[in-house]
Amino acid sequence: MNLDLDVTQIAAAREVIDPVFLDTPQYEDPMLNAAIGRRVVLKVETCNPIRSFKGRGVSVALSEHTDIDTVVCASSGNFGQAVAYVGQARGLTVRVFAPSSINPVKRARMEAFGATITLAADYGEAREEVRAAASAPGTLLLEDGVPPAIAVGAGTMAAELDSVGPLDAVVVPIGDGSLISGIGCWVRAHRPGTRVVGVNPEAAPAMYESFRAGQPVRVDASDTFAEGISVPVPHAASLERVRALVDDIVLVKTEEIAAAMELAAQHVGIRLEPAGAASLAAIAHGRVTGDRIATILTGANPR
């Protein structure tokens, strides 16, 4: 395939990403290692104003558009926060279309960053409604998982992880696929011996099923505990990147995610949201092999 992102773009992305999102903590915690029974390098993406990694990709995507005054998106929370925060910093009007079940903490933070929220029955309907709003002049529709710029911004995390040395695997929660695509692009080029593994909730396995089928498969979530990565159907462009850059996708149970949230609170002192703990759950419950593994703690906006 003709992949639409590369490592030179990732290296250049640091110049346009708000520094508040860069050079996040990455370290091993000896007590966590003892509890899990292997070495785990944590990369903590929660120490910023939106408490998630999404600001990296949105910073890059919006830097490519200088002729707009409004940006609209569909989001269950963290992506909408990033669009609101970065959009406000760039002087843009931001509208977020969200499912009625949206995490109230995430909604409040989006509104605090100046976004207007429009509620839909569910995430699929929010995706449909936002397209109509995008037809207004001067308006950009920013879809998580679609523009390669979002994956490029996320890839800067993998570039930063280079400094920790060799890893058997990098394990990443996977919803729309931008994060793991950016990580995978950098790792393929610079650490080809490192496996890239995505994690889906067993209750919302759309990317897992699509990855195996070779085409987008719609799977409605049986529960939305990990709502940040409960995507009903991946975008075709995102799935194509994932299939080219990811070694495997594994599933974790809701109770395993909850246990990983407790592990993070006890040993790392971070109250992760369920989606942010999914990759730690996969490591702790033996879904990924390897003696030294890195994981991205992606978000801390629990209900």
pTM of the model: 0.93
Residue 168 sits at φ, ψ, to 5 deg, of: -75, -35
pLDDT score of 303: 77
When mean pLDDT is compared over 3-7, 74-78, 231-235, 281-285, the highest value belongs to 281-285
Q: How far apart are CA 59 and CA 29, in angstroms?
A: 30
Instruction: Look up residue 190 and give its two tokens.
Output: 């610079």
Q: CATH assignment of 55-141, given 3.40.50.11780, 3.30.565.10, 2.60.40.10, 3.40.50.1100?
A: 3.40.50.1100
- In tens, the pLDDT along 37-82 reads 999 999 999 999 999 999 999 999 999 999 999 999 999 889 999 9
Cβ proximity of 106 and 81 under 8 Å: yes
- In tens, the pLDDT along 136-189 reads 999 999 999 899 999 999 999 999 999 999 999 999 999 999 999 999 999 999
Instruction: Give the residue from 61, 5, 52 showing the smallest Cα distance to 24.
Output: 52
Instruction: Look up residue 84 and give its two tokens.
Output: 């609101």
pLDDT score of 94: 98
Instruction: Give the residue from 283, 15, 292 showing the smallest Cα distance to 156.
Output: 15
Considering the domain 7-53+147-297 in this protein, what is its CATH number? Answer: 3.40.50.1100
Domain boundaries, the chain: 7-53+147-297, 55-141
Split at pLDDT 50, 70, 90, the class of 2 is low
Residue 253, pLDDT > 70, answer yes
Instruction: Give the residue from 24, 294, 32 showing the smallest Cα distance to 164.
Output: 294
- In tens, the pLDDT along 70-119 reads 999 999 889 999 999 999 999 999 999 999 989 898 899 999 999 999 99
